[in-house]
Amino acid sequence: MPDPILFNRRNFLVRSSLGLGALAFGQLLGRAASTSTASHGAIPSHFKPRAKRVIYLFQSGGPSQLELLDYKPTLKDHFDKDLPDSVRMGQRLTGMVTGQARLPVAPSKFGFKQSGASGTWISELLPWTQQIADDICVVNSLHTEAINHDPAITFIQSGSQQPGRPSLGAWVDYGLGSESENLPSFVVLVSVPSNGSADQGLLSRLWGSGFLPSRHQGIKLRSGAEPVLYLKDPTGLNREGRRAWLDTLDDLNTRQYEEAHDTEIATRIAQYEMAYRMQSSMPELMELSGEPESVFKLYGESAKQPGSYAANCLLARRLVERGVRFIQLYHRGWDHHGGLPNRIPVLAKDVDQASAALVMDLKMRGLLDETLVVWGGEFGRTVYSQGRLTKEDYGRDHHGRAFSIWMAGGGIKPGITYGKTDDFSFSIVENPVHIHDLQATILHTLGLDHEKLTYRFQGRQYRLTDVFGEVVKGILA
């Protein structure tokens, strides 16, 4: 009698209407396929890509565009005046400021400077970013519907405010696969601010595979002695023994796959083999002592501290050199509801030099043209102060109607500022860029049509951009 475990709902669907989909995973069976360096993406590129890989420098918590990238010189004339109704136009507030009697305008305490031949306005808090002004595209017109952290981060990372969808990196891995034989295609690095304040937490679903096969989820690298958990051989098992053990396990899994045609079994086979190869590649990747002193001078001395933002930026460059497709770097601490003038310089100093150094380093090595670098958070901050306002101190609430990011390399037009907000950085008045537009554009630089990169789940075709999104052609080189 057939094993009843083999006849669950998933296997019924695989064997019937979805059976052809399961055949695509046949290439994973056998070691020849699992060790191949060829891309194992679900689909070929839709057109010639400009970028081969992405480094996403995600600033979790909502960096204030008013202090960093969106220069508003006339705000000084509105200090402590109520935000005009003609500007707000009845837009909703978060629960954190609805009890305030007033919404007083808080001009930025920090100055800006026109930088590079392009004359891009960049804050004095980002002197290193000023040096790469001609290599980056500043987008001042990003907007999102989300007003709180979890839905906003989930939205920009997965295309939906509701949990459960595949992350951007998982979609890229699904679409293009890996260039590396010995490292995962999608790697995640998490850093902690130098002041130790992490503010918002980060959940692993932000780099998860959702309903895509689990082999597409991001692999988080830790900063301790064991970068990837459970990668080491068990006590008493040497390298030859592990190879023999994997061969036996591969045979058993292959037999089970032939019976059940469960794609997760194919994933299991591929991941066991990847883990075996990572035992050799991971120590070499994480060993930074071989980098010349000039590199540490470029990224900053903190690059020698495992787990720092600078060290993770340097690791991102090393991952790019080894063919990793998507690197997601998270840096926390940007949720400045109060004490912003004292807190934001610390965060800016944490990330400014290393972010700019990464762009410079990639450019010097001839890798920037084929590597897309994205810097930004889930939303911006309000022009009005949260809490008490003085000339020396203020806070800012969440603001999704208009915020800023910058992008570099990988087919992005350098040395430009795209989009424009009103004089209060409250609403967009020129070239709005929705979250889905940003996602569509990132996929476009990789040669992927966001409308064609789909996956069938629960009876319908899903995509990263849902049923929205337009490629932002104005920022493409």
The CA distances from residue 296 to 231, 353, 408, in Å, are: 29, 11, 22
pLDDT, residue 45, reads: 73
Cβ proximity of 267 and 212 under 8 Å: no
The CA distances from residue 395 to 35, 97, 305, 471, in Å, are: 52, 11, 31, 34
Rg of the chain over all Cα atoms, to the nearest angstrom:
24
Beta strands 186-191 and 326-331 are parallel
Distance, CA of 5 to CA of 379 (rounded, Å)? 46
Q: Using one digit for the tens of pLDDT, what is the confidence trace for 16-74?
A: 444 444 444 444 433 333 333 334 444 667 889 999 999 999 999 999 999 999 999 99
Tell me the two tokens of residue 315: 């690791």
DSSP E strands in 85-207: the ranges are: 112-115, 120-123, 136-143, 186-191
Tell me the two tokens of residue 271: 């991941």
Q: For the purposes of burial, counting CB atoms within 10 Å of the CB of 287, is it exposed (0-12), middle (13-18) or buried (19 or more)? A: exposed
Secondary structure class of 472 (helix, strand, coil):
coil
pLDDT, residue 289, reads: 87
Mean pLDDT per 10-residue interval, the chain, length 477 residues: 47 46 40 35 75 97 98 97 95 88 96 98 98 98 96 98 97 93 94 76 94 94 75 74 76 83 77 71 87 97 94 97 97 96 96 98 98 98 96 96 98 98 98 98 97 95 97 98
Q: For the purposes of burial, counting CB atoms within 10 Å of the CB of 129, is it exposed (0-12), middle (13-18) or buried (19 or more)? A: buried
Q: Using one digit for the tens of pLDDT, what is the confidence trace for 213-248?
A: 999 999 999 876 677 766 677 777 777 777 777 778
pLDDT, residue 146, reads: 96
pLDDT, residue 8, reads: 53
- For the chain, percent of residues with pLDDT exceeding 90: 70
